[in-house]
Amino acid sequence: MTDRALGLEVSGVAVDLDRTPIVRDVSCAVAQGGWLALIGPNGAGKSTLLRAVAGLLPHRGDVRIDGSPVGHLRARERARLIGYVAQNPLLPPDMTVQEYVLLGRTPHLGYLAGPGERDREAVRRTLTALDLGDYADRRLAQLSGGERQRAALARALAQEPRLLLLDEPTSALDLGHQQHVLDLVDDLRRTQDLTVVTTLHDLTTAAQYADRLVLLHQGRVESAGAPAEVVTQDAIARVYAARVSVTTDPDGRPVVTPLRGARN
């Protein structure tokens, strides 16, 4: 970890759902402007942890954003600080893309005030950045799966949060849009000190973009650190029951190739 201030600090967070422990005593942290990827098999607790950090689930333990305990923030303040995109967001079908993305500005509007030029400009900029400029007046129901996913992301970016929480943000995107969206988020964290936390199933992609990985298994932290420390052949075999080869790219980041015959 760098000596930069912490953008997100999670200490001893635990979540029970229907009295079942789902996230157990998880601690992790990422610097301001850093990118942390939560990885782990299906059911490991990644989405649950992300929702707890977003303030959407009751939890034990402490979550701090830029040093402030989230539990002490008013809802509006929290909405200004945290942008969250769910794995399968429910989008109002009859709303246009532009109207929906403008909702991202709600936490910034004055009491009873409508959106101003700065808000409209933020929406225009975000739509263009996400390749949705031509879709501004389209209804959300008329978008493809990938376009919908980009609209949900656009709303969170138009919000201009300090912490961006993205649950599988590229699951519906083609390769070009995946790269484009992740590069855009990467650029925002570098230029605007945005702190980013994503869940990502693709371990090679996670290792390319994140500077810190947290491997969750059965609700606990199995390991955490730089990508090359966490993504190892042994860890993947143990936690995912998958047979892979792990090589290293020229930047020293792990590249994971699945090998057929894992069950043999």
What stretch of H or E contains 153?
helix 145-158
Taking the complex as a whole, the smallest distance from the CB of residue 185 to ligand ATP amounts, in Å, to 19
Residue 18 binds ligand ATP, judged by CB under 6 A: yes
DSSP letter, residue 101: H
Residue bearing tokens 């000596």: 3
Cα–Cα distance, 264 to 261 (Å, whole number): 5
Residue 58 binds ligand ATP, judged by CB under 6 A: no
- The residues with which 38 forms a beta bridge, in sequence order, are 199, 214
Q: Which is nearer to ligand ATP, 48 or 159 (CB)?
A: 48
Mask of contacts with ligand ATP, 110-139, x by CB under 6 A? ------------------------------
Question: Which of 45, 104, 227, 254 is close enough to bind ligand ATP by CB under 6 A?
Answer: 45
Q: Are strands 6-17 and 20-31 parallel, antiparallel or unpaired?
A: antiparallel
Q: Give the orientation angle of helix 145-158 with respect to helix 175-192, to 10 degrees.
A: 10
Taking the complex as a whole, the smallest distance from the CB of residue 160 to ligand ATP amounts, in Å, to 26
Question: Which of 13, 22, 129, 154 is close enough to bind ligand ATP by CB under 6 A?
Answer: 22
For residue 135, give both structure tokens: 């879709």
Taking the complex as a whole, the smallest distance from the CB of residue 219 to ligand ATP amounts, in Å, to 7
Residue 48 binds ligand ATP, judged by CB under 6 A: yes
Residue 43 binds ligand ATP, judged by CB under 6 A: yes
Taking the complex as a whole, the smallest distance from the CB of residue 21 to ligand ATP amounts, in Å, to 9
For residue 101, give both structure tokens: 């993305």
For residue 8, which of 83, 107, 74 has the smallest C-alpha distance? 83
Tell me the one-letter amino acid at 152.
Answer: A
| Window of 12-20, 71-79, 112-120, 141-149 that interacts with ligand ATP by CB under 6 A | 12-20
Residue 246 binds ligand ATP, judged by CB under 6 A: no
Cα–Cα distance, 35 to 247 (Å, whole number): 22
Please work out the total of residues on this chain that contact ligand ATP, with binding judged by CB under 6 A: 12
Residue 40 binds ligand ATP, judged by CB under 6 A: yes
Residue 42 binds ligand ATP, judged by CB under 6 A: yes
DSSP letter, residue 201: S
Residue 198 binds ligand ATP, judged by CB under 6 A: no
Taking the complex as a whole, the smallest distance from the CB of residue 41 to ligand ATP amounts, in Å, to 7
Residue 251 binds ligand ATP, judged by CB under 6 A: no
Burial 51-74 (b: 16+ CB within 10 A, else e): bbbbbebebebebbbeeeebeebe
Give the binding site for ligand ATP (CB under 6 A). 17-18, 20, 22, 40, 42-48
